[in-house]
Structures are given as structure tokens and as C-alpha cells.
């Protein structure tokens, strides 16, 4: 069985856990560096990327996760988790933490505030079984992707919303809220 860690400092950890349970993963909530031992794949949840970043720095998890990502562990970041995987964050805090796992620039809250949250159906390349229900909540807008980044889904306006580079996959929306496990299964090799 694959052991999957969820970064559990803040954010919608329980929703990811439900999806991973449904895929038969052995789920570990990651709160300190030692929790990463033996983990085969990692989820960075939605929440507040600034808060998650500060808590990672104070627990030493930032360095431990950076090392795991550099070692090639499959990782899925959703919403705030997407921001944590980006190489460039626009409208972030000056000390905003991100791992540069995917060569892309993201703008925090780029679709607008909470009232501008929305849902839509999206075709995701490589997923069978029809479109994915995508829930966007104060989501980041991907403003630039590098040449090595594969864009697996876009909005009807052409904005990338699922991006993959090497072992890292990032989603602007929250697949964990729609009860659809396909993106997790693809991104984490489950």
C-alpha cells in the first residue's frame, strides 16, 4: 500500500484524507519533519499559503519537504498548495514561501475574493470518465508557465488550471471538495 502524507498545518486536510482513503492509501498527517519518513507521495492542501508557509518555517518542515521534492516524490498541490509549488508568487507576502517545483508564476486570489468563487466542469488531459467538477475558492491564477510545464486543463478563457512538471502537479481548484479521486490518483501514482 502506498503511504501518502498530507501537510496538516492548516487547510482542508480532512477532505484530502477522505479522497486518499477512498483510493486505499495509507494516509499520514504531516506536522513535523519526522512524519515524512516512509512517505511515498505528498499532498499540499488548500488553505492560506501565507499561514502554511510560516508554520512550515517554524517547524523545519520547509527544508524537509524541499528535500523530499528534490528527491522526486510525487506531490499534488491544490489552491494554496499550488502556490506553494510555484516558482514565482505575485501579490504574495514579501517573505512568501514556495518550493519552485513547477516553473510557473501564480497570482494569489487572482480570480477575485471569496464572493467570486465559482464552480465549472473541466476536461483534464489524461483522465478518463468525463469532465472534473472544479471548485475555485479564492484561487490562484497561473500567469506564466515555463517550457517544461505540461498544462493538463484550462478554463474556457484559456487560463491554465492543472499544471504538471516532473513529479509535481498543481491545481488551482479543489478536486478534494468534489468527491472525485481521479486527479489524486493520477498525480500521486495511486
Nearest-approach distance from CB 138 to ligand GLN, in angstroms: 4
| Nearer residue to ligand GLN within complex by CB, 109 or 120 | 109
Q: Is 135 in the site for ligand GLN (CB under 6 A)?
A: no
Question: Applying CB under 6 A, which of residues 5, 46, 77, 160 lies at the interface with ligand GLN?
Answer: 46
Hey, which residues between 100 and 129 contact ligand GLN (CB under 6 A)? 108-109
In the bound state with ligand GLN, the residue whose beta carbon lies nearer, of 108 and 184, is 108
Non-local (6+) Cβ contacts of 37 within 8 A are none
| Contact string (CB under 6 A) for ligand GLN, positions 71-100, x = contact | --------xx--x-----------------
Using CB under 6 A as the binding rule, whether residue 134 contacts ligand GLN is answered as no
| Distance (Å, whole) CA 135 – CA 138 | 10
What is the per-residue binding string for ligand GLN in 5-44, x denoting contact by CB under 6 A? ----------------------------------------
**Residue 48 lies near ligand GLN (rule: CB under 6 A):** yes
Amino acid at each position: 500500500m502506498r503511504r501518502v502524507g498530507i501537510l496538516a498545518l492548516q487547510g482542508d486536510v480532512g477532505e484530502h484524507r477522505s479522497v486518499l482513503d477512498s483510493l486505499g492509501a495509507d494516509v499520514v498527517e504531516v506536522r513535523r519533519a519526522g512524519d515524512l519518513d516512509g512517505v511515498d507521495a505528498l499532498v499540499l492542501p488548500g488553505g492560506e499559503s501565507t499561514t502554511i508557509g510560516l508554520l512550515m518555517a517554524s517547524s523545519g518542515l520547509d527544508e524537509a519537504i524541499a528535500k523530499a521534492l528534490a528527491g522526486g516524490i510525487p506531490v499534488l498541490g491544490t489552491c494554496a498548495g499550488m502556490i506553494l509549488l510555484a516558482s514565482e508568487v505575485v501579490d504574495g507576502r514579501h517573505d512568501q514561501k514556495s518550493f519552485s517545483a513547477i516553473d510557473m508564476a501564480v497570482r494569489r486570489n487572482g480570480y477575485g475574493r471569496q464572493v467570486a468563487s465559482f464552480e465549472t466542469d473541466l476536461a483534464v488531459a489524461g483522465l478518463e470518465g468525463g469532465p472534473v467538477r472544479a471548485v475555485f475558492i479564492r484561487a490562484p491564477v497561473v500567469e506564466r508557465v515555463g517550457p517544461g510545464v505540461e498544462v493538463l486543463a484550462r478554463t474556457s478563457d484559456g487560463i491554465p488550471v492543472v499544471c504538471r512538471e516532473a513529479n509535481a502537479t498543481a491545481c488551482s481548484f479543489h478536486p478534494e471538495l468534489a468527491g472525485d479521486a481521479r486527479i489524486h490518483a493520477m498525480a500521486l501514482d495511486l
